[in-house]
Amino acid sequence: MVILSNARVLIINPNSNAAVTGAMAKAVAGLSGSTGVDFDTRSLDGAPLGIESDLDAAVVAPLLAQMVRDEDDRYDAFIIGCFLDPGLQACRTVTDKPVFGIGECGVFAALTHADQFGVLALSEASVGRHKPIFRRLGVADRLAGELPLSISVADAVGNEAVYPKLGEAARTLRDTHGAGAVVLGCAGMAGHRSRLQRDTGMVVIDPVQAAAARALGALLPT
Amino acid sequence: MVILSNARVLIINPNSNAAVTGAMAKAVAGLSGSTGVDFDTRSLDGAPLGIESDLDAAVVAPLLAQMVRDEDDRYDAFIIGCFLDPGLQACRTVTDKPVFGIGECGVFAALTHADQFGVLALSEASVGRHKPIFRRLGVADRLAGELPLSISVADAVGNEAVYPKLGEAARTLRDTHGAGAVVLGCAGMAGHRSRLQRDTGMVVIDPVQAAAARALGALLPT
Amino acid sequence: MVILSNARVLIINPNSNAAVTGAMAKAVAGLSGSTGVDFDTRSLDGAPLGIESDLDAAVVAPLLAQMVRDEDDRYDAFIIGCFLDPGLQACRTVTDKPVFGIGECGVFAALTHADQFGVLALSEASVGRHKPIFRRLGVADRLAGELPLSISVADAVGNEAVYPKLGEAARTLRDTHGAGAVVLGCAGMAGHRSRLQRDTGMVVIDPVQAAAARALGALLPT
Amino acid sequence: MVILSNARVLIINPNSNAAVTGAMAKAVAGLSGSTGVDFDTRSLDGAPLGIESDLDAAVVAPLLAQMVRDEDDRYDAFIIGCFLDPGLQACRTVTDKPVFGIGECGVFAALTHADQFGVLALSEASVGRHKPIFRRLGVADRLAGELPLSISVADAVGNEAVYPKLGEAARTLRDTHGAGAVVLGCAGMAGHRSRLQRDTGMVVIDPVQAAAARALGALLPT
Amino acid sequence: MVILSNARVLIINPNSNAAVTGAMAKAVAGLSGSTGVDFDTRSLDGAPLGIESDLDAAVVAPLLAQMVRDEDDRYDAFIIGCFLDPGLQACRTVTDKPVFGIGECGVFAALTHADQFGVLALSEASVGRHKPIFRRLGVADRLAGELPLSISVADAVGNEAVYPKLGEAARTLRDTHGAGAVVLGCAGMAGHRSRLQRDTGMVVIDPVQAAAARALGALLPT
Amino acid sequence: MVILSNARVLIINPNSNAAVTGAMAKAVAGLSGSTGVDFDTRSLDGAPLGIESDLDAAVVAPLLAQMVRDEDDRYDAFIIGCFLDPGLQACRTVTDKPVFGIGECGVFAALTHADQFGVLALSEASVGRHKPIFRRLGVADRLAGELPLSISVADAVGNEAVYPKLGEAARTLRDTHGAGAVVLGCAGMAGHRSRLQRDTGMVVIDPVQAAAARALGALLPT
């Protein structure tokens, strides 16, 4: 085992919803510990319960930068746990350690599997917010489609009853839009991943897992 | 440790150069074993000593597909260990397991660190071969620049004396082209990574490590 | 008549289906002979009966390069007769003569007639395979749409009964997608061209004819 | 010989410079006659001696449309013989026959040979005028570079002494910009083509020849 | 009031329809006079009653350039009042004063309000004509959609009864296509703007007003 | 004069530098008052003296949203007076009035004058920060180039001695990069505009003026 001893990654949930933070911790449990890299998760005190608007994203950005600055000595990498990647560039100005956004990591992970990717968004408004982001990333031409689930963050994370909505949207992305892989467009939904992957035969990406795996890669020695 | 017990990933070196294969194995040693995922490396019998032309890439593509088909029962994921990603689409048609190309994985990994990426290519001819690939991937507008090192595969992998060429090219990509991260544009160069990262202050991506970390992410449970 | 005396062009059908090869020969008969340029057609021994997957394309690529190398002395230009342009870059490495892909030539020919082009594909899977190609070529923003005919290669080439499917799809591309010209997305379909052109009032491009005309242009003196 | 008997193509030189018109006629002489297709060339009465500004292009556009309308009964296809493709869309509204622009045809022809193309322009101003055109065509990302020769139309067509300028610019496009094929960015320069091709080892495209070959393809039977 | 005393802007209606010219004058009345900048409007004698084809656009282009040249001494800026921006580049060659196209100005104005814009076109044919323009402008990826109203220029300008068609199309662009702002795709429709804005809750751009405001900005002192 | 009586626009300087705020007020003085639209300017209390990093931009974004919310009843439109457009999307969530960013408005204004635009940035770091913005806006392919002046905000606003740096960079953008219009890449530089325009013969855009003129257009009646 040659990974940096005691390397530590902090995954920050930019909202104050402990259930989302808990779901993130569970999603990356398989990477923590035995690799020599610990993944900690943290909610953002004072943040809204969900990042559901560009205003929410703006409000938490400086708080995230403050937390990264405060924790800079204790961690080797940081992950911003919201699909909108709030404050990502700002956080990078306060540390020399890598800072990853789960939105970017999730989308790029999907593209390592298939030519066209789809996204499951919580709401119609999310779909609109993601368009300029995908254009900025350069991946707009590889987006097969993005469909809104019309569910709340709370439901996405903890309510098994919403699963049929995910299944239906993912199948539409596959059959109508030509998606070859699907990204869960919100943190905390990893609990649906295996089932959705099995039911649709498509690769399903949880963006938190994608970012955690990327962080592990960045911390590899040599 | 909840990662799939006994999960195995096969990294195929599409050339028959054992030194390259050995360098790949060393590059991912930190991920193998304790995570519950074994990374095996394999040279491609009958392949050229280096993939140095589109003809070489075409010649090995069906051989790679054959090896993936032959090993499909024994592995949970495959990695094609050449920056040109030869036979990637073909390999995906013979297995339901994920197949990753180190070129795609390396480039996307760089983009999780910085807005503009640079590439260190072995030769001027490589630079030309990569252009349509970057365009196909959608990342052409994020390429700060790609510079040829004018060195052989053998030198890239095993000759420490070429390091100054890497350093100079990386600094030019940073200072003149505006690159914020650099990808080593050939398999087997991970040995230079830490030093180059330290000397330039830029993130340096070894594409084999990037692909291995991505494979780990794809094999996470839940 | 000042065209290079005895200039010869080899059109290689990358599959082993003689009916397709015959249809190609017929499609370019009007260009052969009196222009001073002979167009020969050849099936690829050992190839599958149709190129129906990325694996098929990978398998025939080195065989195509071998044939081009073997025939290099006897021909002045080569045409790869499959819409996926398998092995095109590889073939270019073994000869100094021009090598044309019918996919590229067909698409660019359509764009000399209209702002937006459509494609008639044999299958839904073909549509997905063409997307990264069009992106690589730079023409993705000019694609009005591509529709699958859900017919076999054999039917496409020799079964007049499939014509209504072509007519319906072409009209949909024209009226719903805004296509101003349509490309037949497979070799050997030139027999439908005139009728489809007449019935729809749109320019219809047979990619083999487009490549042959392009070869003629490349062989012009001065 | 099964090409449409007596098919006729009219190549219109949008300027009134007879030397340019003559050079065009010579360039396509190899295609005329024996193929069953006659290529006629015509100067545009009342046009300037060269199309050297966007104003010149605007002035000749309606005159070109008028000529196409007047000659519609006598020809099966039309070619606008100026690299700016003046009046192309307007001409298409007055005839059901295909109308080709040599600019479009020349660029697309180059792209059937190589991934990156270069252009030899007469002047710096031409280079600026071509940028929005290449963007509209979708080929801006495939342009390796465009270099001005700083010569007049008259010199381009008839003065052998300017050849060294072409050679130097073409070699720069090849060696510094990475161009794999070069387009002569003005009508009437075909006389330099063979020599330049031989000297540089690159494919050189005369756009008039490219358009004529394309017209031949469009007029093929079946 | 420090704006250039007696600055004058000429808005040229490239067609000869006085009703359209009058509607333009009314649309910019609020900017004229008290700002120190006068906006004059002028029909183009000898032009068609509407610019309804690429031929119409070609025909008026040199006439527009002639009028700009004739009026160069009397005006400080010019506006071409047709959404196709006919003759824009040509007009710029005959004056050093700024020349604005209402198509460009209208689209860019919409983009200062929202990420995705929609367009209300008079006809299906207009939609097709605008595609290459948007691609040339670089805004194709920001177009949510463009819908034809299937009405005449006369109706667009003066017939209040067509309003429901505008309302329905705008709502479809908002709800189905995701447009955040809508451009009226023809000159002379400003009379519908306020009502449509109020009814849909979306920003509605009259391109003549957008160009006039832009001209005012260009004429500001410093 | 039919403009909305008493319409008011608030231009917020997102930094706390009163000199910059004063320069903005002066830049738009020509539009204020007689048009019936008042332009107020305001510094942002508690903001840094300059927005010189992505962190600065993140810090002021929520403060800007708060000010817009607080002033929503008193103004008809808002302008964010920093080239990075900090908090633009966030501000739009707290008001139904239009909110303009000077970065977007400045760039689009330049594009109404010329095909290729250039930008004068304060620093090398600014150049890097603008790249993803231009990509998101869709205008990356129209950027001729962006050059750093290596001067401070204070110098840009108030030190006439830096003018030669602007002149030299603008001429380089014109002659070497092919820019046809230049944007001043920071608020408060309008004082250089006329002189630079006169000296270079190129259109020079002050982004604050561009946004103010756009706001005027948005507030026009009918």
Determine the distance from the C-alpha atom of residue C1 to the mean position of all C-alpha atoms in its chain, rounded to a whole number: 28
* Distance between CA atoms of residues B82 and D32, nearest Å: 49
Per-residue pLDDT at B31: 81
| Among C215, C196, C185, C195, CA closest to C41 | C215
Among E55, E89, E129, the residue with its CB nearest the CB of D54 is: E89
Q: Give the minimum alpha-carbon distance from F39 to chain D in angstroms, rounded to a whole number.
A: 36
Question: What residues of C are in contact with residue A115 (Cβ under 8 Å)?
Answer: 128, 131-132
Determine the distance from the C-alpha atom of residue A134 to the mean position of all C-alpha atoms in its chain, rounded to a whole number: 15
Residue D124 in any domain: the answer is yes
Within this chain, do residues C94 and C115 fall inside the same structural domain, yes or no?
no
Are A220 and B203 within 8 A, CB to CB?
no
For chain F positions 114-133, those within 8 Å of chain B (CB to CB) are: 127-128, 131-132
Contact flag for A and B (3+ C-beta pairs < 8 Å): yes
Is the CB of residue B69 less than 8 Å away from at least one CB of chain D? no
Residue E122 in any domain: the answer is yes
CATH number at residue F203: 3.40.50.12500
| Among A106, A111, A131, A126, CA closest to A190 | A106
Determine the distance from the C-alpha atom of residue D32 to the mean position of all C-alpha atoms in its chain, rounded to a whole number: 17
Q: What is the pLDDT of residues E155-200, one digit of tens each?
A: 999 888 999 999 999 999 999 999 999 999 999 999 999 999 999 9
For residues B54 and B87, is the Cβ–Cβ distance under 8 A? no
Per-residue pLDDT at E33: 58
Per-residue pLDDT at C6: 77
Interchain CB contacts (distance < 8 Å): B and D: 12
Q: What is the pLDDT of residues D80-99, one digit of tens each?
A: 999 999 999 999 999 999 99
Within this chain, do residues C162 and C84 fall inside the same structural domain, yes or no?
no
Interface test with E, best of F1, F76, F184, F222 (most E CBs within 10 A): F222
The tokens describing C152, both together, are 């076999």
Is the CB of residue C136 less than 8 Å away from at least one CB of chain A? no
Within this chain, do residues D18 and D93 fall inside the same structural domain, yes or no?
yes
> Higher-confidence residue: F32 or C89?
C89
List the domain range (segments joined by +) for residue C32.
7-101+209-218
Residue C1 in any domain: the answer is no
Residue F21 in any domain: the answer is yes
Q: What is the pLDDT of residues D135-194, one digit of tens each?
A: 999 999 999 999 999 999 889 998 889 999 999 999 999 999 999 999 999 999 999 999
**Residue of chain C minimizing CA distance to B89:** C54
* Distance between CA atoms of residues C116 and A62, nearest Å: 46
Per-residue pLDDT at F5: 56
**Count of domains in chain D?**
2
Q: Give the minimum alpha-carbon distance from D90 to chain F in angstroms, rounded to a whole number.
A: 22
Length of chain D: 222
Is the CB of residue C141 less than 8 Å away from at least one CB of chain E? yes
What's the whole-number mean pLDDT along residues F167-188? 97
Interface test with B, best of D111, D117, D142, D174 (most B CBs within 10 A): D142
Are E178 and A132 within 8 A, CB to CB?
no
| Among F21, F77, F8, CA closest to F49 | F21
Per-residue pLDDT at A6: 77
CA distances for B124 relative to A81, B117, B152, angstroms: 40, 18, 12
Question: What residues of C are in contact with residue A180 (Cβ under 8 Å)?
Answer: 128
Confidence band, pLDDT 50/70/90 cuts, at residue F2: very low
The tokens describing A44, both together, are 């953002």
Per-residue pLDDT at E48: 93
The percentage of residues in chain B with a pLDDT greater than 70, rounded to a whole number, is: 95
Question: What residues of A are in contact with residue C135 (Cβ under 8 Å)?
Answer: 141-142
DSSP E strands in chain C: the ranges are 7-13, 37-43, 77-80, 99-101, 117-121, 143-148, 181-184, 203-205
The tokens describing E121, both together, are 């076109």
Confidence band, pLDDT 50/70/90 cuts, at residue C33: low
The residue assigned the tokens 């640079």 is B118
Residue C2 in any domain: the answer is no
Q: Give the minimum alpha-carbon distance from E187 to chain C in angstroms, rounded to a whole number.
A: 24
Per-residue pLDDT at B1: 33
Are B115 and F132 within 8 A, CB to CB?
yes
Q: What is the pLDDT of residues C61-116, one digit of tens each?
A: 999 999 999 999 999 999 999 999 999 999 999 999 999 999 999 999 999 999 99
Within this chain, do residues E59 and E113 fall inside the same structural domain, yes or no?
no
Question: What residues of C are in contact with residue D101 (Cβ under 8 Å)?
Answer: 112
Angle between helices D102-111 and C102-111 (to 10 degrees): 160
Q: Give the minimum alpha-carbon distance from D185 to chain B in angstroms, rounded to a whole number.
A: 23
Per-residue pLDDT at C124: 95
The residue assigned the tokens 């108030």 is F158
The percentage of residues in chain C with a pLDDT greater than 70, rounded to a whole number, is: 95
Is the CB of residue A178 less than 8 Å away from at least one CB of chain C? yes
Quickly list DSSP for E126-139. Answer: HHHHHHHHHHHHT-
Within this chain, do residues C88 and C139 fall inside the same structural domain, yes or no?
no
Per-residue pLDDT at E199: 96
Interface test with D, best of C112, C202, C206 (most D CBs within 10 A): C112
> A181 pairs with which residues across the strands?
A117, A203
Residue C71 in any domain: the answer is yes
For residues C79 and C206, is the Cβ–Cβ distance under 8 A? no
Within this chain, do residues F133 and F69 fall inside the same structural domain, yes or no?
no
Is the CB of residue F218 less than 8 Å away from at least one CB of chain E? yes
Query: Is residue D1 scored above 60 in pLDDT?
Result: no
* Distance between CA atoms of residues D141 and D135, nearest Å: 8
- pLDDT per position in chain E (222 positions), as tens? 345 557 999 999 999 999 999 999 999 998 865 678 899 999 998 899 999 999 999 999 999 999 999 999 999 999 999 999 999 999 999 999 999 999 999 999 999 999 999 999 999 999 999 999 999 999 999 999 999 999 998 899 988 899 999 999 999 999 999 999 999 999 999 999 999 999 999 999 999 999 999 999 999 887
Within this chain, do residues A113 and A23 fall inside the same structural domain, yes or no?
no
Are D116 and B135 within 8 A, CB to CB?
no
Q: Which helix (H) or strand (E) holds A120?
A: strand A117-121
Chain F contact partners (≥3 CB pairs within 8 A): A, B, D, E
Chain B contact partners (≥3 CB pairs within 8 A): A, C, D, F
**b or e along C153-164 (b: 16 or more beta carbons within 10 Å of the residue's beta carbon)?**
beebbbeeebee
Residues 6+ apart with CB under 8 A from B151: B122, B123, B159, B162, B165
Q: Helices in A54-162 by DSSP H: which ranges? A: 54-71, 88-92, 102-111, 124-137, 153-158
Is the CB of residue C63 less than 8 Å away from at least one CB of chain A? no
Confidence band, pLDDT 50/70/90 cuts, at residue C34: low
Confidence band, pLDDT 50/70/90 cuts, at residue D221: confident
Within this chain, do residues F76 and F158 fall inside the same structural domain, yes or no?
no
* Distance between CA atoms of residues E77 and E96, nearest Å: 9
**Residue of chain B minimizing CA distance to C93:** B55
Is the CB of residue F168 less than 8 Å away from at least one CB of chain D? no
Within this chain, do residues F28 and F96 fall inside the same structural domain, yes or no?
yes
Residue B48 in any domain: the answer is yes
Q: Helices in E159-206 by DSSP H: which ranges? A: 163-175, 193-200
Give the CA radius of gyration of chain C. 16
Residues 6+ apart with CB under 8 A from C73: none
Chain A contact partners (≥3 CB pairs within 8 A): B, C, E, F
Interface test with B, best of A108, A116, A198 (most B CBs within 10 A): A108
Per-residue pLDDT at C31: 82
Within this chain, do residues C199 and C130 fall inside the same structural domain, yes or no?
yes
Per-residue pLDDT at A2: 41
Residue A1 in any domain: the answer is no
Query: Is residue C60 scored above 70 in pLDDT?
Result: yes
The amino acid sitting at C107 is V
Q: Give the pairing of strands E117-121 and E143-148.
A: parallel
Per-residue pLDDT at E1: 34
Rounded-to-10 torsion of CA B14, B16, B20, B25: 70
Chain E contact partners (≥3 CB pairs within 8 A): A, C, D, F
CA distances for E92 relative to C184, E186, E215, angstroms: 42, 22, 14
- The sign one gets for the Cα dihedral C18, C21, C26, C30 is negative
Is the CB of residue D97 less than 8 Å away from at least one CB of chain C? no
Are F216 and E213 within 8 A, CB to CB?
yes
Q: What is the pLDDT of residues D46-85, one digit of tens each?
A: 899 999 999 999 999 999 999 999 999 999 999 999 999 9
Q: What is the pLDDT of residues A167-214, one digit of tens each?
A: 999 999 999 999 999 999 999 999 999 999 999 999 999 999 999 999
Among B93, B129, B136, the residue with its CB nearest the CB of C136 is: B136
Within this chain, do residues E95 and E130 fall inside the same structural domain, yes or no?
no
CA distances for B30 relative to A219, B24, B41, C49, D213, angstroms: 10, 11, 14, 46, 59
Give the CA radius of gyration of chain D. 16
**Residue of chain C minimizing CA distance to D26:** C222
Question: What residues of C are in contact with residue A143 (Cβ under 8 Å)?
Answer: none
Give the CA radius of gyration of chain A. 16
Rounded-to-10 torsion of CA A70, A74, A79, A80: -20
The amino acid sitting at C188 is G
Q: 3-state DSSP call for residue A185? A: coil
* Distance between CA atoms of residues F41 and F9, nearest Å: 9
The tokens describing C97, both together, are 């003569």
What's the whole-number mean pLDDT along residues A69-82? 98
Within this chain, do residues D42 and D133 fall inside the same structural domain, yes or no?
no
Enter the DSSP assignment of D29: G
Q: Give the minimum alpha-carbon distance from C96 to chain E in angstroms, rounded to a whole number.
A: 36
Interface test with A, best of F53, F54, F85 (most A CBs within 10 A): F54
Q: What mean pLDDT, rounded, does chain F reach?
A: 94
> Higher-confidence residue: B208 or C49?
B208
Q: What is the pLDDT of residues F101-117, one digit of tens each?
A: 999 999 999 999 999 99
What's the whole-number mean pLDDT along residues C127-136? 96
| Among B56, B58, B77, CA closest to B68 | B77
